[in-house]
Amino acid sequence: MTEVLRLDDVRFVRQGKTILHGVDLTVEAGQHWALIGPNGAGKSTLLSLCGARQHPTSGTVHVLGRRLGRVELQALRRDIGHVDPRHPLTSALRIRDVVLTGVTGTIESVMRWEPSAEELARSADLIDLLGLAGKADEPWTTLSQGERGRTLIARALMSDPKLLLLDEPSTGLDVAAREDLLETLDEVREAHPSIASVLVTHHLEELPITTSHAALIAHGRLLAQGEADSVLTTELVSEAFEHPIAIERREGRWSARSLGRRDRAAIRGRV
């Protein structure tokens, strides 16, 4: 398989504090990774390195075959789709125009820039794929959080990226909107089989069925990584969160619940 992302012995220090310690990670085309850990574990920092938004303090990061520090970052970022629910847009751009900013890599529409016929057709196809057909003219300021999430995924796909990064895409969604978004992500991955993705979350219920691999991070270190079923276990997730958590997978979806005192006592009684 084609290597899309590789981190070798990566360390990241901010204001004298070490955020990441000796991280090694390789993501290949067609793989869909979940990066899971408690708050403050270093997930967002790691994702920012994957997205060429920051440089490591030491170690090396290769994104799409190019090493950070030896490549023009703006050009590299155009090949990466980044979905952040905290997208800072405040104006009333229409869905169509928000999606088209994925071509220019800007938050607002660029003055005097006109999309090509091909770009307009691609934006229409993506709007349809993301379940927003018939809403292309609706303004950003009136969209629900779920509609904004799907719009941002369409925007990220406009540049036909080889790597898609999703930073807690279910943030702020109710259960129905979350399920709709996760189903949409599965459809996007099936429609783009060669794309690789990394999704950051601390809730296992927010993982799409198509999640193939997982990495658990705690205190800036990767505790485990590999195929999702071998990593997202009761033992390993409990270690990452430093709390007893029971993990189940049914019909392709994961769930987690805290093991209370009675559960722990019952387990000890069976041992």
231 or 109: whose pLDDT is higher? Answer: 231
143, 159, 175 - which closes a domain: 159
- In this prediction, residue 255 carries a pLDDT of 95
What is the Cα–Cα distance from 239 to 244, expressed in whole angstroms?
A: 8
Q: Per mean pLDDT, which range of 16-25, 38-47, 201-210, 261-270 is the poorest?
A: 261-270
Q: Let me know if residue 254 belongs to a domain.
A: yes
Q: Let me know if residue 212 belongs to a domain.
A: yes
Q: Cα dihedral sign for 156, 160, 164, 170? A: positive
Q: Same domain, yes or no, for 67 and 9?
A: yes
Q: Same domain, yes or no, for 111 and 47?
A: no
Q: Same domain, yes or no, for 10 and 64?
A: yes
- In this prediction, residue 186 carries a pLDDT of 94
Task: Evaluate if residue 71 carries a pLDDT over 50.
Answer: yes
Q: Same domain, yes or no, for 112 and 225?
A: no
116, 144, 159 - which closes a domain: 159
Q: Same domain, yes or no, for 9 and 129?
A: no
What is the Cα–Cα distance from 54 to 47, expressed in whole angstroms?
A: 9
Count how many Cα atoms sit within 13 Å of the Cα of residue 262 in the half-sphere of its side chain.
0
What is the Cα–Cα distance from 56 to 138, expressed in whole angstroms?
A: 40
Q: Same domain, yes or no, for 192 and 217?
A: yes
Q: Same domain, yes or no, for 207 and 152?
A: no
106, 140, 159 - which closes a domain: 159
Q: Let me know if residue 19 belongs to a domain.
A: yes
Q: Same domain, yes or no, for 28 and 117?
A: no
Strand order in the sheet with 58-63: 17-28, 3-14, 58-63, 66-67
CA angle 36, 39, 41 (to 5 degrees): 65
Residue range of the domain that includes 179:
3-79+161-270
- In this prediction, residue 104 carries a pLDDT of 86
Task: Evaluate if residue 32 carries a pLDDT over 70.
Answer: yes
Task: Evaluate if residue 267 carries a pLDDT over 80.
Answer: no
The mean pLDDT value of the chain amounts to: 91
Q: Let me know if residue 181 belongs to a domain.
A: yes
1, with CB counted inside 10 A (0-12, 13-18, 19+), is exposed
- In this prediction, residue 30 carries a pLDDT of 96
Q: Let me know if residue 85 belongs to a domain.
A: no
Whether residue 76 contacts residue 105, with contact meaning beta carbons closer than 8 Å, is answered with no
Q: Let me know if residue 124 belongs to a domain.
A: yes
List of residues 6+ apart from 79 with CB closer than 8 A: 64, 159, 161, 162, 163
Task: Evaluate if residue 228 carries a pLDDT over 90.
Answer: yes
Q: Same domain, yes or no, for 146 and 186?
A: no
CATH for 253: 3.40.50.300
- In this prediction, residue 265 carries a pLDDT of 52
Task: Evaluate if residue 246 carries a pLDDT over 70.
Answer: yes
- Domain total for the chain? 2
Q: Same domain, yes or no, for 122 and 184?
A: no
Residue-wise pLDDT tens digits, 106-159: 889 988 889 999 999 999 999 999 889 899 999 999 999 889 999 999 999 998
Q: Let me know if residue 84 belongs to a domain.
A: no
Q: Same domain, yes or no, for 215 and 97?
A: no
Q: Same domain, yes or no, for 71 and 181?
A: yes
Give how far Cα 209 sits from Cα of 83, 150, 169, 186, Å. 19, 17, 15, 7
Residue-wise pLDDT tens digits, 180-223: 999 999 999 999 999 999 999 989 999 999 999 999 999 999 99
Q: Let me know if residue 20 belongs to a domain.
A: yes
- In this prediction, residue 1 carries a pLDDT of 65
Which residue in 12, 71, 33 sits closest to 224, CA to CA? 33
Which strand (E) or helix (H) includes residue 240? helix 234-241
Which residue in 240, 249, 241 sits closest to 208, CA to CA? 249
Task: Evaluate if residue 268 carries a pLDDT over 90.
Answer: no
